[in-house]
Amino acid sequence: MSSSDNLPTCESSSALKDIQEVNLTYLMLAQRLLRENFAAGMFRLGFCEDVATTILQLSPAQIVKLASSGLLICGFRLDDYGLLSALSQDVLGGALQQAHSTILLSQRAPEIISEPAV
């Protein structure tokens, strides 16, 4: 039994296509950000150097294959209600609020999901 046997399936083929499109767009954006400025791309994406290098070296065929997963490959950093609530209120105004948001988000690493032991 593979670890994917325990995962819920997408009931809608439309939802699956949307997930695959998000994955493809995310991987292409990640490569572009890393090519333009490797260090800034790593920071924005929350990648360590090894992951960033691997993503950067993926061929178009590998990107398409990876994107075809039924699971979202990008992580959502705003999984803390208090943080999300604080970021959604513009109490500081303009550029100061944006700087505050950047600082708060940079302190949150994307959740790392590992394959369960079989």
CA–CA distance from 12 to each of 3, 16, 17, 18, 83 (Å)? 21, 6, 9, 10, 32
Q: Determine how many CB atoms are found less than 10 A away from the CB of residue 65.
A: 11
Q: Cα–Cα distance between 21 and 67 in angstroms, integer? A: 7
CATH 1.10.4000.10 domain range(s) in the chain: 13-75
Rank 2-6, 49-53, 94-98 by mean pLDDT and report only the highest. Answer: 49-53
Which pLDDT does position 75 carry in this prediction? 81
CA 52 to chain centre: 12
Averaged pLDDT for residues 20-49: 96
Percent of the chain with pLDDT over 90: 46
- Residue 33 — pLDDT band, cuts 50, 70, 90? very high
Which pLDDT does position 59 carry in this prediction? 97
For residue 4, give the 3-state DSSP assignment. Answer: helix
Please name the residue that has the structure tokens 């090894």: 50
21 vs 112, which has greater pLDDT? Answer: 21
Which pLDDT does position 12 carry in this prediction? 80
Q: Determine how many CB atoms are found less than 10 A away from the CB of residue 71.
A: 10
Sorted by sequence, the CB contacts under 8 Å of residue 68 that are 6+ apart come out as 20, 23
13-75 has CATH 3.30.540.10 classification: no
Q: Cα–Cα distance between 16 and 72 in angstroms, integer? A: 10
Averaged pLDDT for residues 45-72: 95
The pLDDT tens digits of the residues spanning 64-103 come to: 999 999 999 988 766 667 666 766 776 656 666 667 666 6
